[in-house]
Amino acid sequence: MTWLAFWDMTRDGEFPAERFVDMTLRLLATETESTTFRYALACMSTTAHHYVAPARRDDVLRHVAAELWTLANAAEAGSDTQFQLVTAYLGYGEEGDAAFAANAHGLLDGTVRLEGLEIDNNFTWTIVQALTSVNEMTNDDVDAQLAKKETTENREFAYGARASMATAEAKEWAWDQALHNDELTNSQLEAVARGFSATPRPDLAEPFAAALAEADGIAKVEVAGPGFINITLDSASAAAVVDTVLAAGAVTDADKHLNKVNEYGRNDHLGGQTLNLEFVSANPTGPIHIGGTRWAAVGDAMARVLEANGAKVVREYYFNDHGEQINRFAKSLVAAWACLLYTSPSPRD
């Protein structure tokens, strides 16, 4: 509770960011509860990357990286703590940090080993993107990694890795892919977007901020810190949209009775296509909460936009009954039933 109070104070600008970072590093050295540990890592990352004074940011990031690597090497072999620490460490790469580059390359090629740390397929690509984001791997290197095991998932990882490279060419490629490559899946598009925004150098974002500023209805665009572009809408242009919508044909109560709708924005761009839209899909192993209603509203709005573009939309609430959580839930039911049948002691979690 004390640490959370300091996090709230840091977020509100009432506690120095660097002091919070140092406090959290000390907490990580002793914390054993997994959820708290993960949350502390996330809060420290936000603070180090966004709240620390720009003039001090590079030094603080390198300090945090070094401390996380030390903690990872001291963590219990094969533990979740070890895995979380190494994963967090890979998010602190900076161009020119030779120690980071050596450790990441070593984890990838096996010359650096932490006892008990499993480098599976997903973690391999986490390392790859950590290296591409600091220009320690090229497109050819990414292609070579993908060629080892080309799957749908790995193609998605490769898109993200290419987009995360800290070069103007990589950002131009990612921008073009996001806007013009209609063959990208939703997951691949998300990977490109994450990679595009992953490099915290303002100079790489400036050309795209300038391009956005030329769009109609935009009053101002500015690069605001690592990974953020602030867009200010022109209030007069925003208000004018209402007139445009009404001009397309206002719908009276009588029109509604005849199922007539306003024609603004309607077209046949997706005509003849049937789309399956999955939304809400709350986790069946956890409680239903207010977030589910938010996604219901967002999902239904998306469905109506697609329908306005001519598509036939099938709405689906996907019952997520597959995965590790469900497997554990099933095993717990079997174990509980065995306890009732044979009066055996309950197994440990």
* CA-based max dimension of the chain: 74
The predicted structure's pLDDT at residue 282: 73
Of 91, 82, 28, nearest to 62 by C-alpha is: 91
Q: Which residues neighbour 124 within 8 Å (Cβ) at sequence distance 6 or greater?
A: 108, 145
Output the pLDDT for position 124.
Answer: 96
State the burial class of residue 125 (Cβ atoms within 10 Å of its Cβ: 0-12, 13-18, 19+).
buried
Residues 6+ apart with CB under 8 A from 230: 220, 221, 222, 223, 224
The HSE-up count of residue 127 (CA atoms within 13 Å, CB side) is: 23
pLDDT at 331: 82
What tokens does 137 get?
């791997």
Is 13 buried (19+), middle (13-18) or exposed (0-12) by CB count in 10 A? exposed
- Distance between CA 269 and CA 286 in Å, rounded? 39
Cβ(163)–Cβ(173) below 8 Å: yes
The pLDDT of residue 266 = 83
Q: Is the dihedral of CA 266, 267, 272, 273 positive or negative?
A: negative
Taking the whole predicted model, whether its pTM rises above 0.75 is answered as no
d(CA 198, CA 204): 11
Contact indicator for 175, 208 with CB cutoff of 8 Å: yes
- CA-only gyration radius of the chain, Å: 25
168 CB-near residues (< 8 Å, 6+ apart)? 204, 207
**pLDDT tens digits in sequence order for the chain, 349 residues long:** 688 889 989 998 999 999 999 999 999 999 888 888 999 999 999 999 989 998 999 899 999 999 999 999 999 999 999 999 999 999 999 888 899 999 999 999 999 999 999 999 999 999 999 999 999 999 999 999 999 999 999 999 999 999 999 999 999 999 999 999 999 999 999 999 999 988 778 888 889 889 888 888 899 998 887 667 899 988 888 788 888 877 776 665 655 555 556 677 788 999 999 999 988 877 666 677 777 788 889 999 999 999 989 999 999 887 766 666 677 778 888 888 887 777 666 655 5
Report helix, strand or coil for 223: strand
pLDDT computed for residue 288 by the predictor: 73
What are the distances in angstroms from CA 310 to CA 91, 183, 299? Answer: 42, 19, 17
203: enclosing H helix or E strand: helix 202-213
CA proximity to 201, closest of 223, 226, 222, 221: 226
DSSP letter (8 states) at residue 49: I
